[in-house]
Amino acid sequence: MGLLIMTALSPLAIVPFVSVDNMMRLVHHIGVETFLTELAAYVEEDFRRWPSFDKKPRVASHSHDGVIELMPTSDGTLYGFKYVNGHPKNMREGRQTVTAFGVLADVGNGYPMLITEMTLLTALRTAATSAMAARHLAPKGARRMAIIGNGAQSEFQALAFRALLGIEDIRLYDIDPVATAKCVRNLAPLGFRLTACRSTEEAVEGVDVITTVTADKQCATILTDNMVGPGVHINAVGGDCPGKTELHRDILTRSEIFVEYPEQTRIEGEIQQLAPDHPVTELWQVIAGETRGRSSDRAITLFDSVGFAVEDFSALRYVRDKLTGTNFFEELDLLADPDEPRDLFGMLQRAKG
């Protein structure tokens, strides 16, 4: 029955829906690190065929408290979009900073093929994309990473970098020591070598990769220029909307910068601090072999990651494929689909009983 539903050709027009509970069941059924590794492969596959996608910056509605965004894309066969919010103040109210859901649809008939939660899935795809990019940009043999900002994304980043790059030595820092303690508590049983640090300077000392993943909606300086030595790879995840950055501008001017989609990143990423014509490299070109990644062992590489719709599309494709033959979804009666397509009113009337 699962396979029949997934074709989106059922006359009943039943759409599979993956709840939060079922997403967690699916992830544990596959295994978190296997899930991240396989998801990264889907993302990389779609980056290799980047020109085939319909691309546009996300549609954003900004407010004083945060942002609500729609992130659509299509490869001509499938269409996907994600609804996502970002509200840093939510944490003080006991709510998630970021929540999301997504839809995958058949371009040929317009019918949805999948509806799924994407709060967990976004955390997984963000981490998978970060590690996938680092595999192309980080120094060879990278073994130590600092994670600055130990909130909801931090454990996923650690697991993805171990799964894809073998990094197990993690140095942690957050301005809130409770967040760092939480991260240590979650990661310690999983076999990582963890160091809880008292400052950003202490955290980045001697590391190969620096991941910044803070939440505050402001132009902050999480990393200053003197903290970043030659040969480091920076995975800048937290700056993802206008007026929100994490890195001092001087770091950017001496880094080799890689982005997902320049038209979006120049508005939302770290490079919003730079001139509009400052040179950057699109990550897909590196993955497709059209250009090189890091130029030397001493180069500083920066993945200015803001998240792009193609990555969500990849995640939706991956979940759709992994659902086949499982019961990790519910059948959602979403579409009005009368036996006679022109008789929608008649269907309504017959529902009287």
Q: Any idea which residues carry the catalytic annotation?
A: 240
The maximal CA–CA distance of the chain, rounded, in angstroms, is: 74
Structure tokens at 182: 């939480």
Report the distance separating Cα 122 and Cα 348, nearest Å: 38
Residue 211 forms beta bridges with which residues?
147, 235
3-state secondary structure of 279: coil
Q: Is the dihedral of CA 196, 224, 126, 283 positive or negative?
A: negative
**Phi, psi of 322, deg, nearest 5:** -75, -20
Query: What sign does the CA torsion over 17, 53, 48, 233 have?
Result: negative
Pairing assessment for the beta strands 78-86 and 98-106 based on DSSP bridges: antiparallel
Return the bridge partners of 83, or none.
70, 101
Whether 128 and 39 have beta carbons less than 8 Å apart is answered as yes
Buried b (16+ CB within 10 A) or exposed e, 9-35: ebeebbbbbbeeebbebbbeebebeeb
CB 119 within 8 A of CB 127: no
Q: What CA–CA distance (Å, rounded) separates 234 from 309? A: 22
Burial state string for 187-215 with b = 16 or more CB within 10 A and e = fewer than 16 = beeeebebbbbeebeebbeebbbbbbbbb
